[in-house]
Amino acid sequence: MFSLMPELIVFGASNSFGSPYSTVAVVIALLAAVLVAALNWVDYMIVPAVFRSLGLRFKLAKDYSINMPQDAIIKNVNGLYYAVGFLTANIFGYVFKAEAMEEDIDEKIADATETWERSLIGIDFPFKFHVLSANRDVQKARDLLEGKRSYVEFQMNRMIQNQKSSDSELGEMRRKLNMLQAQMDRISEGEKPISTVMYVETVAVGVTEKAATDGLTGQIERLQVALSSLDVQLARVVGRELNTVFEFNFMLPDTYSAASSYFDNQG
C-alpha cells in the first residue's frame, strides 16, 4: 500500500500543481522505490542470515521445518534425517515458428520423449516433476505482453543509441521482440493463454542433518546438469518460497488470482 502512494502523489502533483511539487513527488517516488527494493533485499538476504546466526528454524508443520540456510525442508524420522529440496523449472518463451528453427515443431514434439529419457539416463535417484497450470484472462494477458514488448523496444532503442552493444546482444533483443509479437498474434488468432508453474522435487536421506542436506545438494546439482539440455531455466528454491511449494504438495490454489504471483515470476 505504501509503495502505491508515491505513484498517486506523482500523478496528482504532475497534473495539478506546479513544478516544485512535481519535483518533491518524484523524489518521494524514488525514495519509495529504493525502500521497496531494500525491503525485498532484507527479506531474501538479511532475514535468512539472522535465522542462521540465531539458530532459528521455521516450522512448516508437525515434524517439518526449514533448515537454517533456508534451502531444504527437514524431517527427522526414527533417527534418520530426510532433506527435501526443489528446483523451479521455468520454460523459456520459445515460439518455434517465429524463430524459424530448422527442426519442424512436429518433429520436435515427436522427439520429446527420447530427449527426456536421454537427459535422465544418468540419474539414479527418484524425483517428482510438478506442473501447475491455469487459464488466463485474454485481455490481461495481452496487456501484459504489450507492456513487455514496449519495454524490450525501449531497451533496443537505448542499445542502438549508445552504440556500445554487440550484434549478439541486439540479436537477442530482436529475438525476444519476435517471440512477444508471435505470442500476441496467437492470442489474436483465438488461442487461449495459459500460465504454467513447474518445479522439480527430490529428497535425500542421511544419519545426520548435514549428511542429508549435502546429499540433497549433490542431487539438485545433478538434476540441474541433466535437465540443462531441455528448454527450461533451473533455479533452486530458497527462503519463503520453500513454504509455498511445500503447501502445493497438500493443496493447490483454487483460483488463478491466488497463484498469479507465481505465474508472473515464472512467465
pLDDT digit string, tens, across residues 197-214: 888 999 999 999 999 999
123-159: pLDDT as tens digits: 889 999 888 888 888 888 888 888 888 888 888 888 8
Packed helices 5-16 and 19-41: angle between N→C axes, nearest 10 degrees: 170
Q: Which three cell numbers stand for residue 76?
A: 527427522
What is the domain extent for residue 51? 1-56
**CA distance linking residue 9 with residue 12, whole number of Å:** 5
pLDDT at residue 17, rounded to an integer: 52
Instruction: Give 152's Cβ-side CA count (13 Å radius).
Output: 19
Report if residue 116 sits inside a domain. yes
Same domain for 210 and 132, yes or no, is yes
Residue 207: name the closest of 62, 84, 85, 77 by CA.
77
Same domain for 121 and 198, yes or no, is yes
Same domain for 47 and 68, yes or no, is no
Same domain for 62 and 129, yes or no, is yes
69-121: pLDDT as tens digits: 888 999 988 889 999 999 988 765 444 444 444 455 566 666 667 777 887 88
Same domain for 197 and 129, yes or no, is yes
pTM of the prediction? 0.61
Residue 86: name the closest of 231, 266, 267, 261 by CA.
266
Report if residue 247 sits inside a domain. yes
